[in-house]
Amino acid sequence: MSKRTGILLINLGSPEAPNVESIRIFLKQFLLDQRVVTLPHWLWKPILKAIVLPLRSSRLVENYKKIWTTSGSPLISIGQQQAIKLKEAIGLEEVDVKFACCYGPYLIESICEEWLSTGFDQLIVIPLYPQYSETTTGVVGHRIGNILNPCQGGCAFKCKQPERCQRDRSKDPSLVSMIKTYAENKVYINMLSDSIHEHIARHGHSERLVVSFHGLPKRCIERGDPYADQCRKTFDLLRAQLNDLKIQMTMTFQSRFGYDEWLLPSTEEVLTEYAQAGIKTVDVICPGFPADCLETLEEISLQLKAHFKEQGGKDLRYIPALNDSERGIQVLLNILKDFKF
């Protein structure tokens, strides 16, 4: 008899709407996660409440409005389509696929409470973060563990005492697996390479290719987070795959927040240097984002494109994420190839 399998795709999340209140709720959830901001709560919470949330929430409204679609948040609508198309590609009635978020609407806990109660033999969790970090994939593992371990805080009843737990766990999956990384997955690298080749075939060569990953404070790396090494592995494999293009490639880090020292080189600083050195055309791809979102659609495609031109460049062309394209679904299918359904 075939196992009944649940596959859970998880991304960071998004505000429910492009307004101050929704953004404030989203940022509060995100920035109070102690795996994301490791400062003591007694120190961080007053700063967050008095300074960060009021300023950041109002500043981000216009940014979110620029990328919002008739389907809502791009990250969420793409994630939901990824789940639908992955289920269709698997083509088995006994396999169900859902999309959930760490913060904002469609929270992991709310999706799992109802969904897991239908009964699964196995649960496969795919964090949509190709490169592992304690601040992203680590958060997912912690949250899933809380949901499936009696009364550790993830259970909706929050009983705190396993022997008195009110949640019916009789239908919880007996086998739970989580994909920790796919930074070196061959199909992932091939699909990124194919995407770049297709872009160049349509639009012609640029003078530089910037491979931009989300940044991370250096203190996280100093504490043993493997994220920077995994970004480098993805970059090196992609560069080898693109050897036929003979294009100069640079790995950078974007989306710096706060006053900590972050991973370098900065995407913005590299683009500034290129423009001031007379480089006129640059392509940018962001392999760490399986779905387009604020960081790609607004920060790269709008903000940094305008910045590059202001500094003397002519054109910055963003190469879209794999999203719910056939290539993107092929990556997810390959990640699942060793599982039995």
* The CATH number of domain 186-326, selected from 3.30.1490.20, 3.40.50.360, 3.30.1180.20, 3.40.50.1400: 3.40.50.1400
pLDDT band (50, 70, 90) for residue 164: very low
Tokens of 282: 């640059």
pLDDT of 327 strictly over 90: yes
Rounded mean pLDDT of the chain?
A: 94
- Count of other CB atoms within 10 angstroms of residue 135: 20
pLDDT band (50, 70, 90) for residue 163: low
DSSP string of 195-261, one letter each residue? HHHHHHHHH---SEEEEEEE--BHHHHHTT--HHHHHHHHHHHHHHHTGGG---EEEEEE---SSS-
Nearest to 95 by CA among 120, 58, 115: 120
Please give the model's pTM, rounded to 2 decimal places. 0.94
Question: pLDDT per residue over 182-227, tens digit each?
Answer: 999 999 999 999 999 999 999 999 999 999 999 999 999 999 999 9
Question: pLDDT per residue over 239-295, tens digit each?
Answer: 999 999 999 999 999 999 888 899 999 999 999 999 999 999 999 999 999 999 999
What pLDDT does residue 117 have?
A: 86
In the chain, CATH 3.40.50.1400 sits at 5-181, 186-326
- Count of other CB atoms within 10 angstroms of residue 55: 10
pLDDT of 154 strictly over 80: no
What pLDDT does residue 60 have?
A: 98
Question: pLDDT per residue over 4-29, tens digit each?
Answer: 999 999 999 999 999 999 999 999 99
pLDDT of 35 strictly over 60: yes
* The CATH number of domain 5-181, selected from 1.10.1140.10, 2.60.40.10, 3.50.50.100, 3.40.50.1400: 3.40.50.1400
Question: pLDDT per residue over 63-99, tens digit each?
Answer: 999 999 999 999 999 999 999 999 999 999 999 999 9
